[in-house]
Amino acid sequence: MTADKYAPIGVFDSGLGGLTVVREIMKNMPNERLVYFGDTARVPYGTKSKSTIIRYSRQIINFLKTQNVKAIVVACNTASALALDTVENEIDIPIIGVVRPGTDMALKATKNKKIGVIATDSTIRSNLYQKLLTEGDEDVKVYAKACPLFVPLVEEGWTNDMVTEIVAQRYLYEVLNKKIDTLILGCTHYPLLSTLIGKVAGKRVQLVNPAYETAQALDRMLTELNLKNDSETEEEKKYQFFASDTAEKFNAFANLILPYDVKATKQIRIESYQETLNDK
């Protein structure tokens, strides 16, 4: 790969949620250009198998390569947990997921070594969060809980709603009973519930937002590789958005959470991209 620091960073997710990672990159790395792909036609990934998510991720990476990206961010926790370890060995573009930045921060934050993790079913079943945390510190106890209803509640816009609060109380009851002092929001949508989850969890629990931690880790990675964009780009050329389904819902959600006006999301046929990667 010819590394071009002015090239965009490719960011992908199963749908809309990865925009929480985009938001952090926009805020923390304002010079960087971004190409975002949301697999809105095939969402959710959180209930799917490892082999399916690897296949989808390979197609998306093949699409991002056509955009000449200098690095790739797997913004989806489920794809980071199930596909990253496979695809990172198949490409020669620097690639980073959201799981490790989240576990690194949680290990720094915890004092009583009791960490909670909430995520989709597939992420929890992959055991990656649990594995990285206990590998990082063998005294750490991890309490994991899948919270599948949070994704539709966020997409419904019920981020500050009584119904969501009751759901959160029910989901979090078990992990809070273990007296955790740190809770990883291990799904793209959950940072949008951080006020509500913070209220349910109480002040003694520190919330870790992998989207924010990933933007910080990305910054360090690009600095080390001498790939940081040090010049400003014109607004129109800076951010591009692609999705596998129609743009309407995507644009509405994007405009709710991004500090940028998303208008021209392009729909692409992601199934037409190759299901294999063969850079290496």
Task: State the catalytic residues.
Answer: 76, 187
Q: Is 57 in the site for ligand DGL (CB under 6 A)?
A: no
Give per-residue burial for 146-172: e unless 16+ CB within 10 Å, then b: bbbebbebbbeebbeeeebbebbeebb
> x/- binding map, residues 25-44, to ligand DGL, per CB under 6 A?
------------------xx
CB–CB of 87/277 below 8 Å? yes
Q: Is 77 in the site for ligand DGL (CB under 6 A)?
A: yes
Instruction: Measure the CA–CA gap between 20 and 159, rounded to whole angstroms.
Output: 14
SS3 state at 143: strand
Would you say 26 or 53 has its CB closer to ligand DGL? Answer: 53
> x/- binding map, residues 113-152, to ligand DGL, per CB under 6 A?
-------x--x---------------------------x-
Would you say 64 or 227 has its CB closer to ligand DGL? Answer: 64
Task: Out of 10, 12, 13, 222, point to the residue binding ligand DGL (CB under 6 A).
Answer: 13
Would you say 77 or 182 has its CB closer to ligand DGL? Answer: 77
Task: Out of 8, 17, 101, 191, point to the residue binding ligand DGL (CB under 6 A).
Answer: 17
CA neighbor of 80 nearest in space, from 104, 100, 106 = 100
In the chain, which ranges are continuous DSSP H helix? Answer: 19-28, 50-66, 77-82, 84-87, 99-109, 121-126, 128-136, 150-155, 162-177, 194-201, 210-224, 235-238, 248-257
Would you say 21 or 26 has its CB closer to ligand DGL? Answer: 21
Provide the binding-site residues for ligand DGL, judged by CB under 6 A.
Answer: 13-15, 17, 43-46, 76-78, 120, 123, 151, 187-189
